[in-house]
Amino acid sequence: MVQRLKRPPDTLVVLRALGNPQRVRLFEALCQRESTIEGLQLITSDSYQNIRKHLRVLEEYKLVTSFKDGKYRYYEVPEDTLSNLHIWTVALSKIIYDKKFKS
């Protein structure tokens, strides 16, 4: 049985937000744990400005949130975002399966 979302994420919104390989890498890193831009630089070897640009997009699409702690800003993927993306992925997989194998 496919669970229902309170407000399902729009497919195009998710695909746009994660449609860039760098944003996917950042999102995957933030799914593991919260981090600062400096911490993400160690993982991606990318510039501060480029990481910040991609994080703005992820924040705009509500896949990532941030909070300030002292002089650092931390970025994280909220738990409800992960849950909603999982439910969305399962529902999308079912649609694709039904279209491919039940047509």
Report the CATH number at residue 66: 1.10.10.10
**What is d(CA 9, CA 96) in angstroms, rounded to the nearest whole number?**
17
Contact of 37 with 26, CB cutoff 8 Å? no
- Looking at residue 72, its pLDDT comes to 95
Domain-embedded: residue 78: yes
Q: What residue numbers bound the domain in which 35 lies?
A: 11-101
DSSP label at 35?
Answer: B
**What is d(CA 100, CA 76) in angstroms, rounded to the nearest whole number?**
36
The mean pLDDT of 61-74, rounded to a whole number, is 94
Domain-embedded: residue 1: no
Q: Is 77 a residue whose pLDDT tops 60? A: yes
Domain-embedded: residue 3: no
Domain-embedded: residue 5: no
Contact of 18 with 31, CB cutoff 8 Å? no
* Number of domains composing the chain: 1
Task: Report the predicted TM-score, pTM, of the whole model to 2 decimal places.
Answer: 0.76
The helix/strand/coil state of 43 is: helix
Q: How far from chain centre, in Å, is Cα 6?
A: 18
Helices marked H in the chain: 11-17, 21-32, 37-44, 48-60, 79-101
